[in-house]
Structures are given as structure tokens and as C-alpha cells.
Structure 1
Amino acid sequence: MSQPEGLKRVFGIDLGTTYSVISYVDEHGKAVVVPNQESERITPSVVLFDGDAVIVGDTAKESAKVEPHRVVARVKQHMGDPNFVFEHEGKVYNAEDVSSFILRKVVGDAEVALGEPITDVVITCPAYFGTPEREATANAGRLAGLNVRAVLNEPTAAAIAYGLEQASDQTVLVYDLGGGTFDVTMIEINERLIRVVCTGGDHRLGGVLWDEAVVMYLAEQFREQTGEESDPLDDPEVLNDLTLQAERGKKTLTQREKAPFRVTHAGKQARVELDRAKFEEVTRHLLDRTIELTREMLEDARAKGSAAFDKIILVGGATRMPQVRDRIIAEFNVEPETYDPDEAVAKGAALYGLKESLQQGVQDILAEASESANGPADDHDRRPIELGDVPEEEVAEALDRLEKQLGFTLTGPVRELVGTKIVNVLSKSLGVVALDDKRKEVVVYLLPRNTEVPFERSTDFGTDADDQIAVDIRVMSGERDSPEPTDCQEVGVATLNLPERLPAHSPIRVKFTITRDGRLNVTAVDLTAGGAIEVDFQTEAVMDSEAVEERSTALRLLTVS
């Protein structure tokens, strides 16, 4: 389908721990997934380094059995981690680099399938990702040569895809158990409003931990059967083979009561049969943790006055395990609905991208109509039009014009989505380190968890001593509002230089501004002399735009397939 000038098709990408998916909205207003060149709808998020070539997907995943030193898997769990590096033939790659290869693979395959270039994308991330992880995700897209229009929370994306098909208002819990992450989010879906109430989770709790529990069990059974003293898990090839077997066995146990395994190590072999009851026993502690996190989130929702929900929606491939459904029924007395586990997130991201693109198109048409009626606007007055303030008939007329430009009909649900407001919340509290009255370092929170975004808040502090030459604004992120810096993650540090001969306790105003997609801007002002700094927050884990550009040029010398 052709696109009018200035209205770009925006693709949605679920950049997953174990699998990645790309989607777009077709001429019928339906979000569809684009298969890869192997004709698979999901692509393993596994990268194999082979000289100057980079191979992503099934081949890389299989190669992990025999060449684990050349393969990177589950890189999403390291996003925003400054200490993660992968070395190959004298070159060092960080998590953003590796993720950019996965993005290049899914985007490149989609370009071949559709016969058109792809530039604009919405990439999803766990709701529980903080500032460093979100910035790293955006940078991975930029390294892949993409214009990242937004970094969208995975449960919110799933709710968009789900909500587009619903006729009634409702409050849903999105229980999202993916390959490497777990999120649970309460979301209100009303006419023209999708509002996140609360979110919780753990971005290191996912289906791969179920696989690891099976691997541990298999190794234990091997030692019992063979009497071998050496640990089969110390052999990288054996470990990778068992990991692949565990993933396959987990899927088998979703359909059948038993799954067979074979463990070969040190010239010995053991055959192990794992039944569903034993599988559920060795992984029960993981499922317990998801229920614990769900109850914590519900407590937070009650504190905000939202105790009740209508449905529980299961998203993420790991929710196919029968134990998940059974446990949710037992705990909450609600029959959960499985909603497009592998593809809902990517489809929701594509719908969100279409919404953003159409909104921009409508705003341009309205601005053009206003200038025709009132004359050209000054740059100072030219600002985005809030569609909620525009009469519905004017928005409808603008959408009619866009329909003619697009050459296809915008369905009723898509039209409604254009005017739908989407409200997200902060997954972690954000604050700064200060000294209390006992001169002990404590974290003072400016933005609490589950605050609706965008949002901004200012707090006044004082300098510590006479003639202080600077103050360091240490930005911290915390999960449970602990005042202890050791319980928090440092997002980064900004330094405000001070004028000479400033007395102690001179006021410093710190303002945090969080954008709708979770990016942080920090402003600090010396209220005595007027000095100020403003930082779109960078951390040691995240590259600035100049570094991204430089790195992108170097990475493009590698062939990705």
C-alpha cells in the first residue's frame, strides 16, 4: 500500500529475550506479523559471530551446542548493564550492539518480504525496565539504523492489541511471562482511554529459568544414574545441549504428561523421563514468585483506589504452561484468557505506531486548515494540537482526507484508536542522594513508583558547606522506596558548578521530568546565583548520540543474516 508524503508506516518490534517479532498494520486496519526468511513468525534472539558475518536466529541457536563461545543469547537481560561485554576475534560488543544485530535481522527480512524500506519503528520493553534499560533499547534501534519513534511497555502494547477488539469498558490484569522477563500490570480499557494503573515484575524472571530448573534436575539425575562425579554442567557443549532439550521438553509437557531426555557426558549416558508433576515441582518456586509479585502489584493498585479487575489476560510464550493457568485459577478464582501469546506485543506496538503516525497526519491537516483560515503561524505558536481539544467532527474530516491519501479505509476501531489517550506509569521510583540531619546519605524520591507519566516534580535542597564549589546530583532508581542508596540502582551523576563564597545551605532546586516513554530529564538550579544544568539523562551504561552514530558506522561493516 502506498503512503502519503509525510505519513510513514511505523512497524512494531517485540525485541524479546528468547524470540523477536515484527508487525505492521495492513490495509484492512489489522496488525499482522511479517515472517522471517525462514518462513517463521518468530525469530530466536540468538546471535552467532562468524568472522565478519553475524548470523541471527535458528542457525545461531543450533550452533550454541557446538560453538557456545561464538554465540550470544538472552542479551536482553543485560540491557543497560555497563559491565556486559562479548568478545570475538579481538572486538568487543555490548548489549546494545548485539541487540542491534537482532533488529537488523528482523527488519531486513521484513523489508525483503514486503519489498519496501523500513525506517520508523516502535520497540517494546518490559514495563519494569528503568531509565538505563530503556535508553539502551532505544540506542539498539538507532545502531540498527532505525528511527525509534517510541519505547513502549510490553503490557501496554498487549493491552492496545487486546483493547482494539473489545466492545465494553473493562479493567484487566496483563500477566506477561516471556522468555526472560515477567510483568504484571493493571490496565483500564475505556472508550478513548487506555490507562495503566500499576505495574510490577522482575526483568530477570522468565521462561528460561524454568529451562534452567529442568537442566539442574537432568544433571542431578545423570549423576545418580551413572555415579559420575564430574558435573556435566561444567562442559559448555553439554550445558547448551541440555538447555535446548529443556526448552523442547517444556513445550512437550504443555501437550503431554511426560517428556524424554538424554544426558551424555564423560563417556556415559543417562535416560531421564520427566513427568509434568515433577516438572511443576522443580519449578514451583518460580511460579510462586510471579504470584507474589502479582499480589504486591494488587496492593499498590488498592492504595491508588483500584482494587477490582474484570479479567486476567495471559501474554508471553511461557504462559502456555498448564501450571500457570491452574495456579491463577486457584489463587484468584478467575479463568484467565490467553491472548495471542507470541504476537500480541508486536501487534500492539504496530498499532501504537499507526496511532502516532495518523495523529501526526491529523495534526498537520488541522494546522494547515488553521493557517488557511487565520494566516501562517509564527514558529513560537506552532505547537502540537491536542486532539482531545478538537471537535470530533473535525478529527473525522481530517481522517477522511487521510483515507483518500492512503487509498484504503480506516476501520472504526482504528479511527477510535487515533483519539485514544494512552497513559503509562513509572515502574521504579526516581530520586537523588542527599544528607539527612545526621549527615547520613539517604535517597529522597521525587517521582514515586506508579506515578502517571509524563510528569515533573521539583524539590529544594541546600548545599552542604561554605564555599562549596559544586554539587553532584546522584540520580537513583528504587523498587520499594528504600532510603538506603545500597538498595537502589544509580542511574547516573550530573554536576552543578557553584559560584565562589556561597554559604552553606544555599538553596538548590532539582527538577525531574519523566517523558511518556520513561526517559528522564534532570534540571538543577542554584537559586542564589542562577547557575543551572539540564541533562537528558545519560548513564555510564548508555551511549550518547555522537557515540551511537560512530558505533553504528562501525557495526554496519558487519553482514547480518
Structure 2
Amino acid sequence: MLLQLKEPNQASPKPTEIPLAIGIDLGTTHSLAAYKKGDENVRILTDTLSSIVSYKASTPIVGEQALSDLDDTPNQVITSIKRLMGKSVEDIKGTIEEHLYPLSKGTETNKNEALTLLIKDQPMTPFEVSADILKELKKQAEDTLGESVTQAVITVPAYFDDAARTATKNAARLAGLEILRLVNEPTAAALAYGLDQGSEGLYAVFDLGGGTFDFSLLNLQKGVFQVLASNGDAHLGGDDFDQALLKHLAPQAMDLRHALQIIKNAKEDLSAKDETHFTLGNQNYTLSRQEFEALIQPLVERALNVCRETLSYSNIDLKDIQGVVMVGGSTRIPLVRQEVEKLFKQRPVTNTNPLTIVAQGAALQAHALTYGSDTLLMDVTPLSLGLEIMGGMVDPLIERNAPLPTRKAKDFTTYKDGQTGLLLHIVQGERDMAKDCRSLGQFKLTGIPPMVAGAARIQVTFQVDSDGLLTVSAREETTGISQHIEVKPSYGLEEDQMRKMIMASLENAQGDVNSRLLAESKVEANRFLESLLPALATDRSLLSDNEYEDILTHLDALDASLKTEDREAILQASKALEIATQPFAERRMGHSIKKALEGKALSAVEKAL
């Protein structure tokens, strides 16, 4: 044991200082920072900061004061930037965002590249705008704490894809923050609610913010926060309510962002009033809550459908849900609360602040990651991960909603005699056929020793870590030869795409089964042909001319059926060929045994047996 010595009157050396880490809710409409110290309660460090940035001045202005520049320099004021994180020009094509933002012309030449804004003739990416919001949050937090802030846990929508998550990480790095963890917003909210209320059991989190909607089912049990299922909608939030109102009231509004800001204020008034008055352009408007609710009812129904889908595929009964935690500013809309109560047959949890609960959860996780904690967060994979196998079918290794981190290994083999390589095609989705899933990547394992089909043993391992990074490895057991690839399971995948994939799997379930059965019948038929044709070439002498011609006739019939999509015809042709070749197979076996015994004494044979 080593003892640390000090001179008399010398101050005791300080223990290694732990960097100060805060929790940040980087929202579409509002952003917030919070901090937990020791056993103290979580402390909100900043005002609720409007996620608006003005670039009119030489330095960016962030927050409500940036709105004053909307009148004279609308193209230098950026709102709701979160909806553009990780997006390409192609992603926003046909949406109102295509007209809301000053897009760089250079971006349009390659529609699959991350989009770039043009502000004061300078290109700027969405993550740079988000970085300016984070810088302001960091500054306000440091002013409140009187210390430097260097680390943070930042929350993101549950279905944010890898491109958006990477953009969030880049924004934090640019703002001088090291990200300890990206935590899904519903999970952070459940963490804050569960620890604050001491709640246990099955809870739903209904997270309707300014730009996105997330719905998660979590089991809270003795400090373990386990996500059971997650679902969402990429383009469903307060911004969409605003756009629906604008389209109804003033579809020809020239300055969209200025008009949308006025609409947003009117919408917020209606959460407390039955009627509101405002001016748009030169026109005065009066809007009642009843009119507003009629306009947004289809959008609210979309959110409820996401909840129904999630409950359905999770096999969770409404009566088992202990409570529905409401998160996000848009859950303050009376209609939203009424419809949630009607669906879940219970009054939603509204004794928490929907604007601060996510930041509080992020702060709790930041504290846990820096100082340690008895709590454990367990998130899930949004979609299944698997391999394409013969016939274009998918063999899933990691199922949708598997808890993270997770690891699964499975043995595969070769399809043909003498096969020395194996191409691994990794896909994501819920459909039975690879062509209907999203391709994530592929790599080839070479150097497999030549063997008969089915003799080789190749172990394929899928591993997804807590950050959602997928690693796939393949190892040939006899030689030890291995290869691996790292892929991002959600890269380039929009939340809408995820939802569509899940819904498509439900809607096309029977069609997928039929496609898989057809593919399987073709694989088996081709395997039969690949073994039969070399046998005919080798042992033609074992057949009479009539027998040989009969087999060729059945071969032609099977070959013709394989060019169709008629599974029954393929099965019938395969069966007929199998019957026709049965005598041939028996003679080949007898011939092989006779050949093996030639020149051997009976005693030697008996001894061998």
C-alpha cells in the first residue's frame, strides 16, 4: 500500500476532479439544460430556450429575441432545425421544409448528400445551427453553476436514425461538449418520472413535441428501466399542427416562417382560451378551439394509431398499463389529453412538467455516468436484423425490440459442392424477403475449404452495442478464418420508413409467407437438380433408353415450372421427377456398394462392419 505524504502546513492534495456533466433536451421548439449534484434534486439550469437562431448580427442570437429579426431578414432566422438533422435534399422533397429554409444551391446537385443551408451567402449545415443552440445552453449553464461545463447527455427522438444521431454528436463537439451518451427522449422522461415518483410497473410514454412523436412502453422495476417497445412518427408534432392551420387559413402566405410563428402563438393561446384573435398579413382572424381541434383531429389520430400499433405487436393489454406519462409541449393541447385518456381508459399523468421532464432525465443519466448509480437503462432495437439466405429469403438473427446491448450467433453452411466463399448480405426490416427490407451492407468470407454442400460450418455473429452500432462477424470453424464488418443499423433510415416497414410486415404477412414458401420450393428443386444432373452424366449406363427419356421429360417439366411463380406446379413437378428417378437412385446405391466390395474377402468385409 502506498501512502501519500505532505509537508506540515501544506494543503491536502485534491482528489481527481470529475468533469461537470449536464443533461440537455435539444428540442425542435424549445431546449433546456439540467444538472444533478450528489443527493440533491435535479436543478434546471437554463430558461426554456426557444430553438431559434438569428444570423443577422455578426454573432448568432439564440432564443426568443431572435424572432425580432423575422420581419426584415427572414432568411437569416432558422427555426425547428432539429427536423433537418441528418436529412438530405431528397428527404425533404415535397414537404413544407423544402420551402421554409434557404437551401444552398450546391446541395441540389447531389440530392443524397446531407443538405446545406445558405445564410448570408455562406453555406451552413443543420448541425452547425444546432451547435449554436448548444453553445447558448452551455453558456447559460456555466453562468448558473459558476463552473466550466465540458460533458453532457443529450436526448434524441427514439427513432432518430444514425445520420441524425451523428449530426447531433457533431453539433455537441462543435459546441465544446463531449457526449457521454445519446438517450432516447421517452426513456429519459420515464427515468425522471420513475425516480421522482418511485413508480414501478408497466408505463407508456406519450412524447409529442414540436417536430416528432415517440411512443414507448417501459417496465420500471427496482431501478431498472427497460424499454419493451418503441414506435414513432418522424413528421408529427406541433409544427405539423401549425402547418395544418396555415394551410386552412392562409395557404398563399408569402413569408411562411413569419406566418407560422403567428399561427404557433395562436395555437398556444387556445390551450387556455376558447377563442383567439390574430392578424396574418392584412387579414384579421378569429379562431375558436373547436375549429382548431377539428383541423388537427386527423393528426392526433395518427399519433393514436402509432400507440395502437405498438400495443398490438407487443401483445400488451391496456389494463396492464399503470400510467401514461405525457411528454412534450404539444401534450398540453386539451384535445391531445382527451384523446389519450379515451384510448388508454385512464387519465394521463400530467403532474409533471412536459417541457422539463426530458432534460431532468438526461441530467439523472449524466450523473449516473459520472458518479455511478443503482439505476439501469435498457433500450431496444427498433427493427429486426438478419441475413439474406438462398432464394432471397431473410433469416433474422436479432428480432425487433430486442434489449440493448445484444448478441446472437447462428451457424450457416455452404449451398454447393466445393464452395470456397460465402457472401453475407445484412438487412434490416420485418419482411420475409430481402428485397423488401433495407440493405445495410455486405462482405465476403473467403478461404472456406472445398467440401460437399452442407459440410462447412460458418458461425455468423450479430452484436449491437448500447449506442446502436452493429458488428457482424463470420468464422469458418475448421480453419478459423474470419471476417467482420461494422454497420449502422439505422443509417439513413427515417422514422417514417421504420413505421412503414413495420406496417408493411403486418399488412403483407400472408403475402410474405407465400413468397417465402415459393422461394423455399425453388431452392429445394434447384438443389435436387444440382445433384441429379451430375449423377446422370456419370451413371447414364444404369438406365434404359426409355427410362432416360422419361427422366429427361420430367426434368424439362420441372425446369419449366421453375420459371413460373406457381408453387404447386413446382412441388408437383419435383415429386414426379423424384418418383421417376427412384429406381435410378436405388441402382446407383447398389452399384456403389458393389464397387466398394470388389476384390475384398468376406472376412475383411465382416470385420469392417
Q: Which of the five TM-score ranges fits, normalised by the shorter chain?
A: 0.7 to 0.9
Cα distance, 1:51–1:63 mapped onto 2, change above 3 Å? closer
Q: CA deviation at 1:286?
A: 0.7
Q: Which region of structure 1 is more displaced relative to structure 2, 61-70 or 290-299?
A: 61-70
Residue equivalent to 1:518: 468
1:30-71 CA-partner distances (Å, limit 9, x unpaired): 111112xxxxx2222223334863333223344344433333
Q: Report which structure shows greater RCO (CA 8 Å, sep ≥6).
A: 1
Secondary structure at the aligned position of 2:165 is classed as: helix
| CA distance in structure 2 between the partners assigned to 1:19 and 1:435 by the alignment | 47
Cα distance, 1:333–1:540 mapped onto 2, change above 3 Å? closer
Q: CA deviation at 1:352?
A: 1.1
- Aligned counterpart in structure 2 of residue 249 of structure 1, from 266, 282, 287: 266
Residue equivalent to 1:325: 337
Matched, 1:59 2:65: yes
Residue equivalent to 1:482: 431
| CA distance in structure 2 between the partners assigned to 1:306 and 1:331 by the alignment | 9
Matched, 1:430 2:385: yes
Cα distance, 1:476–1:125 mapped onto 2, change above 3 Å? farther
Q: CA deviation at 1:524?
A: 4.1
Q: State how 1:84-123 maps to structure 2 within 5 Å.
A: 84-88=115-119, 91-123=122-154
| CA distance in structure 2 between the partners assigned to 1:468 and 1:88 by the alignment | 57
Q: CA deviation at 1:111?
A: 1.5
Q: CA deviation at 1:500?
A: 9.6
TM-score (norm 2): 0.67
Matched, 1:205 2:236: yes
| CA distance in structure 2 between the partners assigned to 1:334 and 1:240 by the alignment | 38
Residue equivalent to 1:558: none
Given that residues 468 and 498 in structure 1 are in contact (C-alpha distance below 8 angstroms), is that contact kept between their aligned partners in structure 2? no
Q: State how 1:225-374 maps to structure 2 within 5 Å.
A: 231-232=252-253, 235=254, 237=255, 239-264=256-281, 269-302=282-315, 308-338=320-350, 339-359=352-372
1:359-400 CA-partner distances (Å, limit 9, x unpaired): 2xxxxxxxxxxxxxxxxxxxxxxxxxxxxxxxxxxxxxxxxx
Cα distance, 1:518–1:529 mapped onto 2, change above 3 Å? closer
Higher helix share: 2
| CA distance in structure 1 between the partners assigned to 2:79 and 2:420 by the alignment | 46
Given that residues 118 and 124 in structure 2 are in contact (C-alpha distance below 8 angstroms), is that contact kept between their aligned partners in structure 1? yes
Residue equivalent to 1:447: 398
Given that residues 81 and 130 in structure 2 are in contact (C-alpha distance below 8 angstroms), is that contact kept between their aligned partners in structure 1? yes
Letter aligned with residue 343 of structure 2: E
Residue equivalent to 2:376: 421
Residue equivalent to 1:402: none
- Aligned counterpart in structure 1 of residue 41 of structure 2, from 20, 25, 30: 30
Given that residues 496 and 524 in structure 1 are in contact (C-alpha distance below 8 angstroms), is that contact kept between their aligned partners in structure 2? no
The alignment-based identity, stated in percent, is 31
1:96-149 CA-partner distances (Å, limit 9, x unpaired): 333222212211221233221111111111112234433332333223222211
Given that residues 469 and 486 in structure 2 are in contact (C-alpha distance below 8 angstroms), is that contact kept between their aligned partners in structure 1? no
Cα distance, 1:168–1:343 mapped onto 2, change above 3 Å? closer
- Say which one has the larger Rg: 2
| CA distance in structure 2 between the partners assigned to 1:473 and 1:100 by the alignment | 39
Q: CA deviation at 1:330?
A: 2.0
Letter aligned with residue 85 of structure 1: T
Letter aligned with residue 53 of structure 1: T
Residue equivalent to 2:26: 15
Q: Which region of structure 1 is more displaced relative to structure 2, 196-205 or 252-261?
A: 196-205
Given that residues 466 and 501 in structure 1 are in contact (C-alpha distance below 8 angstroms), is that contact kept between their aligned partners in structure 2? no
Cα distance, 1:308–1:214 mapped onto 2, change above 3 Å? same
Secondary structure at the aligned position of 2:197 is classed as: coil
Residue equivalent to 1:38: none
Given that residues 157 and 346 in structure 1 are in contact (C-alpha distance below 8 angstroms), is that contact kept between their aligned partners in structure 2? yes
Higher strand share: 1
| CA distance in structure 2 between the partners assigned to 1:104 and 1:89 by the alignment | 21
Given that residues 12 and 348 in structure 1 are in contact (C-alpha distance below 8 angstroms), is that contact kept between their aligned partners in structure 2? yes
| CA distance in structure 1 between the partners assigned to 2:123 and 2:492 by the alignment | 15
Given that residues 131 and 520 in structure 1 are in contact (C-alpha distance below 8 angstroms), is that contact kept between their aligned partners in structure 2? no
Matched, 1:219 2:250: yes
Letter aligned with residue 252 of structure 1: D
Cα distance, 1:155–1:499 mapped onto 2, change above 3 Å? same
Matched, 1:498 2:432: no
Residue equivalent to 2:497: none
Secondary structure at the aligned position of 1:449 is classed as: coil
Letter aligned with residue 130 of structure 2: S
Cα distance, 1:466–1:119 mapped onto 2, change above 3 Å? farther
| CA distance in structure 1 between the partners assigned to 2:68 and 2:327 by the alignment | 26
Cα distance, 1:446–1:85 mapped onto 2, change above 3 Å? farther
Secondary structure at the aligned position of 1:337 is classed as: coil
Q: State how 1:454-473 maps to structure 2 within 5 Å.
A: 454-460=405-411
Matched, 1:76 2:82: yes
1:423-453 CA-partner distances (Å, limit 9, x unpaired): 2222233344x2542xx4x554332221111
Secondary structure at the aligned position of 1:342 is classed as: coil
Letter aligned with residue 449 of structure 1: R
Residue equivalent to 1:386: none
Letter aligned with residue 14 of structure 1: D
| CA distance in structure 2 between the partners assigned to 1:323 and 1:474 by the alignment | 46
Residue equivalent to 2:533: none
Given that residues 498 and 526 in structure 1 are in contact (C-alpha distance below 8 angstroms), is that contact kept between their aligned partners in structure 2? no
Letter aligned with residue 165 of structure 1: D
Q: CA deviation at 1:89?
A: 5.1
Q: Which region of structure 1 is more displaced relative to structure 2, 26-35 or 283-292?
A: 26-35
Secondary structure at the aligned position of 1:513 is classed as: strand
| CA distance in structure 1 between the partners assigned to 2:171 and 2:308 by the alignment | 33
Residue equivalent to 1:407: none
Letter aligned with residue 369 of structure 2: E
Q: CA RMSD in A?
A: 3.2
Given that residues 162 and 492 in structure 2 are in contact (C-alpha distance below 8 angstroms), is that contact kept between their aligned partners in structure 1? no
| CA distance in structure 2 between the partners assigned to 1:49 and 1:125 by the alignment | 25
Cα distance, 1:460–1:139 mapped onto 2, change above 3 Å? farther
| CA distance in structure 2 between the partners assigned to 1:501 and 1:115 by the alignment | 66
| CA distance in structure 2 between the partners assigned to 1:469 and 1:88 by the alignment | 55
Residue equivalent to 1:144: 175
Q: CA deviation at 1:526?
A: 5.5
Letter aligned with residue 493 of structure 1: G
Given that residues 496 and 533 in structure 1 are in contact (C-alpha distance below 8 angstroms), is that contact kept between their aligned partners in structure 2? no
Given that residues 132 and 541 in structure 1 are in contact (C-alpha distance below 8 angstroms), is that contact kept between their aligned partners in structure 2? yes
| CA distance in structure 2 between the partners assigned to 1:143 and 1:509 by the alignment | 41
| CA distance in structure 1 between the partners assigned to 2:307 and 2:20 by the alignment | 36
| CA distance in structure 2 between the partners assigned to 1:23 and 1:336 by the alignment | 25
Letter aligned with residue 424 of structure 1: D
| CA distance in structure 1 between the partners assigned to 2:124 and 2:176 by the alignment | 17
- Aligned counterpart in structure 2 of residue 530 of structure 1, from 469, 481, 493: 481
Q: Which region of structure 1 is more displaced relative to structure 2, 137-146 or 449-458?
A: 137-146
Cα distance, 1:323–1:192 mapped onto 2, change above 3 Å? same
| CA distance in structure 2 between the partners assigned to 1:472 and 1:95 by the alignment | 37
Q: CA deviation at 1:260?
A: 1.5
How many equivalent residue pairs? 451
Letter aligned with residue 137 of structure 1: T
Q: Which region of structure 1 is more displaced relative to structure 2, 68-77 or 288-297?
A: 68-77
TM-score (norm 1): 0.72
| CA distance in structure 1 between the partners assigned to 2:53 and 2:443 by the alignment | 39
Q: CA deviation at 1:273?
A: 1.1
Cα distance, 1:313–1:532 mapped onto 2, change above 3 Å? same
| CA distance in structure 2 between the partners assigned to 1:91 and 1:494 by the alignment | 38
Cα distance, 1:66–1:459 mapped onto 2, change above 3 Å? farther
